Amino acid sequence: MSTPYLTRRSQLETYFDRTAVEAWSRLTSDAPVSKIRATVRAGRDTMRATLLDWMPEDLTGKRLLDAGCGTGALAVEAARRGAEVVAIDVSPTLIGLARERLPAISGPGSVEFRVGDMLDPWLGRFDHIVAMDSLIHYQAPDIVRALAELSLRTDASLLFTVAPRTALLTLMHAAGKLFPKADRAPAIVPVTEGGLRRRIARESALKRFAVGRTRRVNSGFYLSNAFELSKVASSHPRPQPELRHLRMRVEDGNEGGRLP
Ligand SMILES: C[S@@+](CC[C@H](N)C(=O)[O-])C[C@H]1O[C@@H](n2cnc3c(N)ncnc32)[C@H](O)[C@@H]1O
């Protein structure tokens, strides 16, 4: 992946593993939080429910990747619906918390928490990949490159969120720059829906995927846009290797048009 991706991933690891770990742990628990944080918690609950709704109710036998899982709430819900979940995050501390919080899952579902990069190809293939608010800090070209990489291992759908570009968010972004550097969270990178759709359309690895449902969740200080990328059945199957070989030979005239 690109240098900006790797730089940003390392900043996020530091931020989620140290700077924000207390706040993040509290936000993702049932503990009381400020009114502002309560709006964020409510927005995140709605977003998680939306993404879970976009997958089949019964996930038995399905493999799901929770990409950038944080403390693992979505992974647990998916496992309760039967999925075999791999949940990965770059922050070892958040993965530690996720493991501590993992309840007993009754039924066939399971969760395996891992520390690492969501783009690691060794994680294998998945029916569904969900990246809830884990790509929002990356630049648009890196978001689409990450989606392209993930799509190579996706059999059904790839669900993700981005921060929409709005006047308010641009203002908050500018205000954030007034804080001393040490207190700052890695900036969220807002993207427009049109710009993102154009980049997705231009990305050859995503040719077999179509943008399906989208939903903007806006709850007080939480603002995020969900996208569904679904794999489409190919209407033009690629020629079989033997046939392609044969056609080349015939077109080249090497065999004088004779069939072997
Ligand atoms: C805003 S939190 C969201 C966590 C979780 N998806 C949720 O909604 O509760 C973003 C998470 O993505 C993780 N993350 C960011 N980039 C990552 C990467 N390249 N690979 C794995 N995790 C990543 C961060 O460490 C952080 O825990």
- CATH number of the domain enclosing 153: 3.40.50.150
Is residue 47 in contact with ligand 1, taking CB distance under 6 Å?
A: no
Within 13 A of 170's CA, how many CA atoms are on the CB side? 5
Q: Kindly give the distance from the C-alpha atom of residue 106 to the centroid of ligand 1, in angstroms, as a whole number.
A: 26
Token reading at 186: 């890695």
- Residue 256: inside a domain: no
- Whole-model pTM over 0.85: yes
Decide if 36 is inside a domain. Answer: yes
> Which one of 89, 119, 120 would you pick to mutate in the ligand 1 pocket, going by the greatest count of ligand atoms within 8 A of its CB?
89
* Domain region containing 22: 3-235
41: number of Cβ within 10 Å = 19
Assigned domain for 178 exists: yes
| Residue 248 belongs to some domain of the structure | no
Is residue 241 situated within a structural domain? no
Is the distance from the beta carbon of residue 69 to the nearest atom of ligand 1 less than 6 Å?
yes
Rounded to 10 degrees, the C-alpha dihedral 247/249/254/257 comes to: -30
Q: Which residue's CA is the closest to the ligand 1 atom numbered 10? A: 134
Q: What is the dihedral of CA 230, 235, 240, 243, to 10 degrees?
A: -160
Query: Does ligand 1 lie within 6 Å of residue 17's CB atom?
Result: no
Provide the pLDDT for residue 254: 34
Check if 50 has its Cβ closer than 6 Å to any atom of ligand 1.
Answer: no
Q: What is the mean pLDDT of each run of 10 residues along the chain (260 residues)?
A: 90 88 91 91 97 98 98 98 98 96 96 97 97 95 97 97 81 58 72 95 96 95 95 65 39 32
Q: Read out DSSP for 106-165?
A: PSS-EEEEEES-TT-GGG--EEEEEESSSSTTS-HHHHHHHHHHHHTTEEEEEEEEE-B-
pLDDT of residue 15: 87
Number of domains in the chain: 1
Q: Is residue 243 part of a domain?
A: no
258 domain-assigned: no
- Does any domain span residue 249? no
d(CA 52, CA 171): 31
Closest atom of ligand 1 to 13 CA is 25
Q: Which pair of structure tokens corresponds to residue 8?
A: 């940003």
Instruction: Tell me if 16 CB under 6 Å of ligand 1.
Output: yes
Atom from ligand 1 closest to the CA of residue 17: 25
